[in-house]
Amino acid sequence: MKKLLLLLTLGFFLSCSNVQNPNYERNLEITKQWFDSFGNEDLDFTMSFFAEDIEYQSAFYGGPLMNKDETREYYKGWHDAMEDISYEAQNYLPGVDPDTGLLNGSVRTYGYWSGTKSDSGKTFKGLWYHYLTFDDNGKIINGGDFGDATGLIMSVMPDQE
């Protein structure tokens, strides 16, 4: 009887371990829209996805944790420097709360950014990781970019004469 009870309990926990956060699918769609808006260089629309008190991690070496105004400038810098920006996701994954380890509706993704540096005409394609966490209204409250932003910029700079 003890073994049966143990097996039933174990089965219950295993079956519950695949339960998705109810907001994940909504947040995944928002994430995909966000990537499209960034690639379309629609800065106002891109920023409309963020809550007012966003905290966003820059991908540049020593990059700060930024508020909404700083995040806007960060994105504007990318838009001003690059053309034909696109993101090709390799996957989208559900995120977890760092304190509890429970699925929290956040979205993580690995994928390739590609585009062309405006002043040099050089193209790039680089692998990046992103995470986005959402509030109950579907607004992004924190997120970040992880990739070699400095190396990417250096690789597409105009040639020195």
Instruction: In whole angstroms, give the CA distance from residue 123 to residue 146.
Output: 19
Domain count, the chain: 1
For residue 92, give the CATH number of its domain. 3.10.450.50
Residue 1 falls inside a structural domain:
no
Residue 45 falls inside a structural domain:
yes
Residue 6 falls inside a structural domain:
no
14 vs 133, higher pLDDT = 133
Residue 40 falls inside a structural domain:
yes
Give tens-digit pLDDT for 49-62: 999 999 999 999 88
Residue 15 falls inside a structural domain:
no
Residue 142 falls inside a structural domain:
yes
4 vs 29, higher pLDDT = 29
Residue 13 falls inside a structural domain:
no
Is residue 20 scored above 70 in pLDDT? Answer: yes
Hey, which bits of the chain come out as E strands? 50-57, 65-66, 82-96, 103-117, 123-134, 140-146
Query: What pLDDT is stored for residue 143 in this prediction?
Result: 96
Q: How confident is the model at residue 14 (pLDDT cuts 50, 70, 90)?
A: very low
Instruction: In whole angstroms, give the CA distance from residue 23 to residue 31.
Output: 12
Parent domain of 126: 21-155
Residue 7 falls inside a structural domain:
no
Is residue 16 scored above 60 in pLDDT? Answer: no
CA angle 28, 43, 25 (to 5 degrees): 5
Is residue 111 scored above 90 in pLDDT? Answer: yes
